[in-house]
Structure 1
Amino acid sequence: MALRDLALFTIVMGLVPVILMRPWVGILGWYWVGLMSPHGLTWGFMRTFPLAMVIGGTTLVAVFLAKDRRPLPMTREMLLLCLFLAWVTVTSVFAVSPDGAWEQWIKLVKILAITFVAPMLIFGERRVVPLLLVITGSIAFYGFKGGIFAILTGGQHQVLGPPRSFLEGNTYIGMAMVMILPMILATARMFHHRWLDWGIPRLQRWMRPLGWGAYATFWLTAIAILATYSRGAFLGILAVAPFLFLRMRRKGMLVALAFVLVSVVGVTVPDKLMERWESIRHYQEDTSAMQRIQSWGVNWNMALERPLTGMGFNHEGMGYNWWIQYAEFEGTWRFALSPHSTYFQLMGQHGFTGLGIYLLLMGAMLATLHRIQMTARRRTGQAWLEEYAWAVKVGLIGFLVAGAFLDMAYFELVYALVALTVILRRELDEGTVPATQAAVAADEEGAPGPRFPDFVVAPGSGRPGGRQ
């Protein structure tokens, strides 16, 4: 019996009583299991162990027992998510492949369950920041690991996600790392600038080293994204790169270092990776690219035939001969039935109505996150709140750009960002403090410093426990 399996089993079963006593820990465990998929790193009995069922089931039981449970905040994001769930239920009723439709509907409901439960249990810095770290770390682990692998192999082999998980393959892990990359940078800045006083002196001394480690993970993850050879992930990182560059300090040094590496050291893009990128420009010669164009036409024509409800989930189950009748051309391949685009996927499955609701949800999230980013520091003094709102927003932009070429409408990480948006919005609304109090301290960049967590006494306050 492998030690990894025993270790994972011990951790999971050890979490059960903790979750029953502190239900909010179950949200952390749920996202850890759902996003990192640790069972994919084992080789024995834990590969088929129902991790999500154990953690998720325990958390749902604990929710009903929790005394500090909050009402579900009915923000516009939550209302639109409820509307989206209601609409895909309607489209499942009218689906051309009912069995496959309800099977996918159940999977989506399981994903949305945690999205609705998380804001009920996660509130306050003591809970919000650990959740941010768990979501970030669950994907950053593969960025760190994949970046080292890419460097050691000279980028000649693909970086893949863990098997038997939603991250399996290069496309999904590439997209996940694109979405998390800004959050890794926000985490590095939070540790480096010590925006939070955790109330543990020994831990405070490790903040800077933790920040350096997060910065290293950021760069390794960027390398790992390129080494996935996913063209969708490549377009995603192109979309987020300008936002990341503008957020960084010492931009001149970064430009100079890049110049030295390319012109002096002679660092170049691996030939295999360059060939993959070149296929974007010469798409007519690439079978995969032409399959995308064919699939887009298919889903567009399906939406034209049934503009309100589309064909429902998993309409591909009707078979190739039914599917190809909606195509503008057939090509030399068969059974390439993937929609190859989030937007065409929604269009073909749920009609223009479903696509519209989804886009409204994404737009509402971007607007909310931008408002938090612009006002958090001034209204609450919480530098971390501003930073993570920016990070979630940029990660969402990366998803929206890359999603044009990848069918990821039900990607679990997207709905994690929905939950984070709702949680961060409530932190902004409930964390407002007077302007004089928000400006008590200044961080290293000259901006107002962070508000101290409710469970930590501000240094020099003269109150018991404060440093004099």
Structure 2
Amino acid sequence: MRDVAILLILFGLVALAWWRPWVGVLGLAFLAGTHPQAYASGFMKTFPVYLTLFAVVAVAAARDYRRARAWPRLPVDWSLILILLLWGQFALSTSQAINPWAAWPKLWEVAKLLPSLVLVLLLIDSRERLLALNLTMALAVAVVVFKGGYWAVMTGFQDRVYGPPGSQYGDNNEFAVATAMAIPLLVLWYRETQARALRLALAGMIALSFAAALSSWSRGGLLSLGVVALLLVWHSRRKWLALPLLAVGIGLMFVNLPEAWFARMGALGGGELDASAQSRLDVWRLGWAHALERPWFGGGFQGWIYLSQRTGGLVDWHSAYVEMAAEHGLMGLALWSALLLGNMGALTWLVWRGGRLRLTWLENHAAMLRASLAAYLVGAAFLGIAYWQMVYLLMASVILLRGFAARATSFTPSNPAAREA
């Protein structure tokens, strides 16, 4: 039955994509977030759902460009240049990989992110479509969060909450960070809608998201969640109301959390390290040492398979920063860091610019994208999530937002078009 339902969803998305290719881009974002084939048990388990929809979107977009007799144009942006340079570094490090049998397949897997980003940059050509894209990313995670958050509340936070099996955030730790990243996008949706019923539903969804993230029992997720909470209060128009409401809500959740949860989280500030924290320190030292030995290219994708044998064969670098440095050298880390921090800086400027010109839509969008990226930056310190599709979709959103902001701010502040919210 699940397989039939997934097939019907795919048919619906394919039809929409053929009719409006940009809607197909939203479908791709939804599939990337929900990973529906993970819940299949029959023929749809191994069916290339994402690839099928991608092919339809690409063909439909090419058809529309041909009919319009127009060449597709990518935005000229420094972030896009950095992304291409970073992928070039990936190719170079793979050519020098210490275990090429694992590095080359991983390179092709990561390279598949680029065509999706190209479709986003080509077909999302208005701020209304950009809003729809970011709300779709929020909805995709929210579909999974709803089940996890409800289960967390009903069981008194006794069990850990996980993401879709086989997805990029299937593990409890990755799921917590993905949920923290989705919360600001849900808040953006809340601010942009005027429908009372939808606002109430979104408020409940945001509360469930906090519950699901806490019930993941993830220390890195807890830190990401804390950063998001602080930024949401900071960007609230009614801080005097937002702060006590947030404190009461989180307080109610903490009252119901079991003692084992507090014991696990206590390791964040404790003097003694548990086995998990100690193993992370060991692999971090190993990764940084290897990055210093091979600063230009690192060990290539999946370098931990060979290097971590000295520490018992850990299956991850447990930090995206160490992952980038160890697998792609200090050059790869520099490009990746410049991409993320540069976009954080650009969003900060857009928040200020939107507030100054009273462009509410720009200020809201930039502030929530910044909060989402901040959650990723914190979570990435403890998880090997350097190649997440969600974060690159967010950076594509930043590229587009800068372009739309440039058009809007070309008007004078006295012009009503510049003040449109």
TM-score, normalised to structure 1, is: 0.83
Change (3 A) 1:245 1:270: farther
How far off its partner does 1:382 sit? 4.5
Q: Are residues 399 and 437 of structure 1, via their aligned partners in 2, closer, same or farther at CA, if it must alter by over 3 Å?
A: same
Structure 2 equivalent of residue 426 of structure 1: 403
Distance 2:56 2:267 in 1: 47
- Helix, strand or coil: the match of 1:244? helix
1:70–1:265 distance in 2 versus 1, CA, 3 Å: closer
Distance 1:8 1:377, change over 3 A: farther
Cα distance, 1:265 vs. partner? 11
Identity of aligned residues (%): 29
Look up the equivalent residue of 1:166 and give its one-letter code: Q
Q: Return the alpha-carbon distance in structure 2 between the equivalents of residues 79 and 350 of structure 1.
A: 18
Of 202, 206, 210, which aligns to 1:222?
A: 210
Which residue is 1:167 aligned to? 169
What are the ranges of 5 or more consecutive residues in structure 2 without an aligned counterpart? none
Q: How does 1:304-315 map to 2 (within 5 A)?
A: 304-315=292-303
Does the aligned pair in 1 maintain the 2:149–2:212 contact within 8 Å? yes
Distance 1:261 1:344 in 2: 35
Highest Rg: 1 or 2? 1
Match of 1:340 among 306, 318, 323: 318
Larger proportion of helix: 2
- Any conservation in 2 of the 1:148–1:220 contact (CA below 8 Å)? yes
Match for 1:156: what amino acid? Answer: Q
Structure 2 residue 351 is the aligned partner of structure 1 residue 373: yes
Partner of 2:89: 87
Following the alignment from structure 1 to structure 2, what is the Cα–Cα distance between the partners of residues 392 and 385?
11
* 2:175 is aligned with 1:177: no
| Kept after mapping to 2: 8 A contact 1:143/1:222 | no
The Cα offsets for residues 391-431 of structure 1, whole Å up to 9 and x where unpaired, read as 11111111111211111110111111111111111111223
| 8 A contact 1:175–1:236 mirrored in 2 | yes
Q: What's 2:60 paired with? A: 62
1:270-328 CA distance string (max 9 Å, x none):
212112101223474411101100000111111111111101111233375xx41xxxx
Give the alignment partner of residue 365 of structure 2, picking from 374, 388, 393.
388
Cα distance change, pair 411–256 in 1 and its aligned pair in 2 (3 A) = closer
Cross-structure match for 1:457: none
**Which of the residues 163, 184, 188 maps onto 1:186?**
188
| Local SS of the residue matching 1:435 | coil
Partner residue, 2:328? 350
Aligned length: 416
Distance in 2 between residues matched to 1:307 and 1:57, nearest whole Å:
38
Whether 2:77 is the aligned partner of 1:99: answer no
SS of residue paired to 1:45: coil
Alpha-carbon distance in structure 2 between the residues aligned to 1:83 and 1:227: 38
**Partners of 2:123 and 2:385 in 1: CA distance:** 27
2:387 matches 1:415: no
Whether the aligned pair in 1 keeps the contact of 2:158 and 2:257 (CA below 8 Å) is: no
CA distance in 2, matches of 1:20, 1:267: 50
Match of 1:16 among 10, 14, 32: 14
Q: CA RMSD in A?
A: 2.4
| One-letter amino acid matched to 1:346 | M
CA distance in 1, matches of 2:192, 2:149: 22
Q: Match of 2:327, SS?
A: helix
Is the contact made by 1:75 and 1:422 (CA closer than 8 Å) also made in structure 2?
yes
Q: Distance in 2 between matches of 1:161 and 1:264?
A: 24
Within-5 A mapping of 1:188-267:
188-191=190-193, 194=194, 207-253=195-241, 256=244, 267=255
- Looking at structure 1, the residues matched to 250 and 332 of structure 2 have their Cα atoms a distance apart, in angstroms, of 46
In the alignment, the residues of structure 1 paired with residue 272 and residue 64 of structure 2 have an alpha-carbon distance, to the nearest angstrom, of: 57
Match for residue 39 of structure 2? 41
Residues 64 and 258 of structure 1, relative CA distance in 2, 3 Å threshold:
closer
Say whether the 8 Å CA contact 1:23–1:121 is kept in structure 2. yes
Please state how far the C-alpha of 1:124 moved relative to its aligned partner: 1.2
Q: Residues of 2 paired with 1:389 and 1:141: CA distance?
A: 24
Partner of 1:279: 267
- Which one is further off, 369-378 or 297-306? 369-378
What is the Cα deviation at residue 262 of structure 1?
9.1
Q: 1:371 and 1:266 mapped to 2: Cα distance?
A: 36
Q: Distance in 1 between matches of 2:95 and 2:303?
A: 13
Give the distance between the partners of 1:301 and 1:70, measured in 2 at CA: 44
Matched-pair contact (CA < 8 Å) for 1:115–1:418: no
Is the Cα–Cα contact under 8 Å of residues 295 and 337 in structure 1 kept in the other structure?
A: no
Letter in 2 for 1:5: D
Shift of 1:385: 2.8
Aligned to 1:32: 30
Seen in structure 2, the aligned counterparts of structure 1 residues 39 and 26 have a Cα distance that, compared at 3 Å, is: same
SS at match of 2:318: coil
SS in 1 for 2:414: helix
Partner of 1:361: 339
**Cα displacement (A) at 1:377:** 5.6
Distance in 2 (alpha carbons) for counterparts of 1:129 and 1:439: 18
Rounded to whole Å, the distance in 2 between the matches of 1:261 and 1:111 is: 37
| Alignment-mate amino acid for residue 148 of structure 1 | Y
Kindly provide the CA deviation profile for residues 332-363 of structure 1, in whole angstroms up to 9, marking residues without a partner as x.
xx222421111111110011010000011012
Q: Distance in 2 between matches of 1:35 and 1:63?
A: 22
Aligned to 1:438: 416
Per the TM alignment, residue 19 of structure 1 is displaced from its structure 2 partner at its CA by 1.7
CA distance in 2, matches of 1:424, 1:265: 35
* 1:126-165 alignment runs, 5 A limit: 126-165=128-167
CA shift at 1:164, angstroms? 2.3
Q: Which 5+ residue runs of structure 1 have no aligned equivalent?
A: 195-206, 325-329, 441-447, 451-468
- The answer as to whether partners of 2:25 and 2:57 remain within 8 angstroms in 1 is yes
Give the Å deviation of 1:7: 2.3
Secondary structure of 2:301's counterpart equals: coil
Native 8 Å contact 1:346 1:354 kept in 2: yes
